[in-house]
């Protein structure tokens, strides 16, 4: 497979030295290169005894003005109660079968209407120009539960601007890895795969849309969508597609997996909306994982101030 260099300036030119050093550790690990004794010592593991997928410390992170100060869910909660149908239907399946998936090396194909060359870009090249930050976001699942997660990532818009989409690019389409040999859910065909999601271009350029590579300061575990996933905090969780291998700038609205599977229950927009019930349950309340009492769901999951304007004049009951 041909892996081209991403169109960017060298990260060492724009990143403070310490951050750059930490980034190199992550990139080095993410590339699947065998860590030498020095690298292993830095990560607190004896050389030669590295686990299949050691979690890398992502170093110093810039805090975000968009972070909530609500109580964060624990690392245990965030990594053991998941939706990732490629690993199975139960909330415990993603953790149980996470080790089936190999995430190193990883490439992301970027293509479509843009001024840069379409190619498979190594994950390191996708990440290297970006400064990582911590964004503590509420995640509201369509099944009426929610969590507060300290994501690590960078704004999707920064990546989009690097690739210079043309005016024909009205939507961004994302695809998850299709590898039935490692995803038992794909072997069982429990959904139509590969998992696909999409955003309208203005949504994708909204500063809140995040490409995440970690939680709690460490690289993502496979059950959370390693090595790179989307986080769209004002939309139901199914929009936050995991383990992305393809980003495409397209003219037509993509057909997203859950909309294809059950169109009258799951739409394209999927903005969190307590006033529009799911056909089989109410969306007015939610259960924050770890809390006893349920709480009211907020419009746009509480992010209306940043995003509501994008939907002015749209009927959000029809565009669910
Ligand atoms: N991405 C893929 N590829 N496959 C999935 O099944 N599930 C979605 C989303 N991304 C899913 C996915 C749903 S329904 C939710 S609620 C979130 O991932 C859950 O993310 P988490 O497990 O990290 O909390």
Q: The CATH number of the domain where 22 resides is what?
A: 3.90.420.10
Mean pLDDT, rounded, for 247-264:
98
**317 within domain boundaries:** no
**130 within domain boundaries:** yes
Mean pLDDT, rounded, for 73-90:
98
Range of the domain at 209: 11-311
> What residue's CA is closest to ligand 1, atom 17?
237
Mean pLDDT, rounded, for 227-256:
98
**318 within domain boundaries:** no
**19 within domain boundaries:** yes
Write down the pLDDT at residue 34.
31
Query: Does ligand 1 lie within 6 Å of residue 183's CB atom?
Result: no
Query: Does ligand 1 lie within 6 Å of residue 148's CB atom?
Result: no
> What residue's CA is closest to ligand 1, atom 10?
241
Mean pLDDT across the chain: 88
**170 within domain boundaries:** yes
**301 within domain boundaries:** yes
Confidence tier at 32 by pLDDT (50, 70, 90):
very low
Q: Is 253 exposed, middle or buried (0-12, 13-18, 19+ CB in 10 A)?
A: middle
**73 within domain boundaries:** yes
Residue 81 has pLDDT above 90, yes or no: yes
Please choose from 89, 237, 262, 301 the residue to mutate so as to test ligand 1's pocket, defined by most ligand atoms within 8 A of CB. 237
Q: 74-93: b or e for each residue (b if 16 or more CB lie within 10 Å)? A: ebeebbebbbbbbbbeebeb
Mean pLDDT, rounded, for 32-61:
51
Query: Does ligand 1 lie within 6 Å of residue 212's CB atom?
Result: no
- For residue 149, what are the β-bridge partners? 137
Q: Which atom of ligand 1 is nearest to the CA of 84?
A: 6
78 C-alpha to center of ligand 1: Å? 12
Q: Which atom of ligand 1 is nearest to the CA of 230?
A: 10
Residue 229 has pLDDT above 70, yes or no: yes
Nearest to 296 by CA among 318, 274, 278: 274
Write down the pLDDT at residue 136.
98
Confidence tier at 18 by pLDDT (50, 70, 90):
very low
Mean pLDDT, rounded, for 156-161:
98
Q: Where are the beta strands (DSSP E) in 177-311?
A: 196-200, 210-215, 218-219, 229-231, 244-250, 285-288, 295-296
**2 within domain boundaries:** no
Query: Does ligand 1 lie within 6 Å of residue 153's CB atom?
Result: no
pLDDT, tens only, 163-208: 999 999 999 999 999 999 999 999 999 999 999 999 999 999 999 9
**Contact by Cβ (8 Å): 230, 197:** yes
Total number of domains constituting the chain: 1
141 C-alpha to center of ligand 1: Å? 9
């Amino acid at each position: 497979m041909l892996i081209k260099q991403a169109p960017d300036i060298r990260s060492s030119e724009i990143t403070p030295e310490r951050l750059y050093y930490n980034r190199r550790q992550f990139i080095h690990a993410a590339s699947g290169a065998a860590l030498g004794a020095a690298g292993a010592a830095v990560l607190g593991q004896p050389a030669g005894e590295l686990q299949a997928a050691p979690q890398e410390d992502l170093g110093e992170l810039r805090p975000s003005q968009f972070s909530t100060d609500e109580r964060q869910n624990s690392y245990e909660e965030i990594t053991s109660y998941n939706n990732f149908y490629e690993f199975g239907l139960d909330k415990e399946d993603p953790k149980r079968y996470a080790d089936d998936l190999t995430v190193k090396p990883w490439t992301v194909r970027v293509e479509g209407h843009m001024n840069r060359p379409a190619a498979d870009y190594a994950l390191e090249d996708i990440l290297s120009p970006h400064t990582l930050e911590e964004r503590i976001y509420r995640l509201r699942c369509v099944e009426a539960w929610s969590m507060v997660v300290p994501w690590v990532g960078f704004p999707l818009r920064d990546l989009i601007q690097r690739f210079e989409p043309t005016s024909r690019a009205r939507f961004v389409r994302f695809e998850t890895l299709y590898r039935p040999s490692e995803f038992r859910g794909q072997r069982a065909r429990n959904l139509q795969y590969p998992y696909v999601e999409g955003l309208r271009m203005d949504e994708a350029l909204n500063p809140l849309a995040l490409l995440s590579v970690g939680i709690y300061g460490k690289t993502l575990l496979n059950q959370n969508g390693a090595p790179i996933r989307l986080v769209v905090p004002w939309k139901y969780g199914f929009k936050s597609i995991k383990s992305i291998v393809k980003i495409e700038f397209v003219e037509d609205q993509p057909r997203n997996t859950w909309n294809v599977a059950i169109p009258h229950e799951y739409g394209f927009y999927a903005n969190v909306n307590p006033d529009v019930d799911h056909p089989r349950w109410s969306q007015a309340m939610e259960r924050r994982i770890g809390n006893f009492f349920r709480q009211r769901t907020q419009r746009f999951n509480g992010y209306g101030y940043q995003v509501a304007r994008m939907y002015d004049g749209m009927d959000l009951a029809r565009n669910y």
